[in-house]
Amino acid sequence: MKKHIPNSLTIFRMLLVPVFFWLAILIHTENSLRWATVVFIIAAITDYFDGMLARRYNAITDFGKVMDPLADKLLVLIALLAITLPPLKLITVYAFYIILTRELLVSLMRNYYIRRKIYIPANIWGKLKTIFQITGIIITLLYHSFLSQHLVVHQEKIRNGFHISFWVIAIITFLSGISYIFDVRKILKTVEKQNNA
């Protein structure tokens, strides 16, 4: 029973994706963004627990290897799009494009190698990228949804701070993509040696 919990959490997070998209992009009102913030935080919590529980109960499955990162990327990209578009505009569109391009390319590569039964685990850069992205998004959503109206005097400085922060996140995301490519090359060389042995 416990072994099914991680995949159940992943499925739950996948179901939250269209809910978050509806609240953050389609409706995009002050009230809906507050609810979107709550949904994103719940999704981030389930992401932490399904990974932890999968390792604890030795319940890492092919389903989880595919759907877990897919759910994460969809949520993150939708959230980044929401805070790139007006009226928030707390990320420059160029930083968003860097993150989007990296996530799409790595996802395509990961799915390609998974079909060949080759799994590329996340390295320290990938984990840092995820932590920075999710933390940045949560802080941004919390600020806009609950704090911005109380900090009008400092709004310009805060907006500039968000722009700089997400450029840093975009650079970390880019570097994690380069690191992933190097990891792929190493693992492919190892697989090739094993096949030729």
Number of domains in the chain: 1
pLDDT, tens digit, 9 for 90 and up, residues 144-170: 888 766 666 677 888 899 999 999 999
pLDDT, tens digit, 9 for 90 and up, residues 39-84: 999 999 998 888 777 777 776 777 777 788 888 899 999 999 999 9
| pLDDT, averaged across the chain | 87
φ/ψ of 95, rounded to 5, equals -65, -40
pTM of this structure: 0.89
Band (pLDDT 50/70/90 cuts) for residue 20 is: very high
Widest distance between CA atoms in the chain = 68
Q: Report the CATH number at residue 165.
A: 1.20.120
73: containing domain: 2-196
Q: Residue 88: helix, strand or coil by DSSP?
A: coil
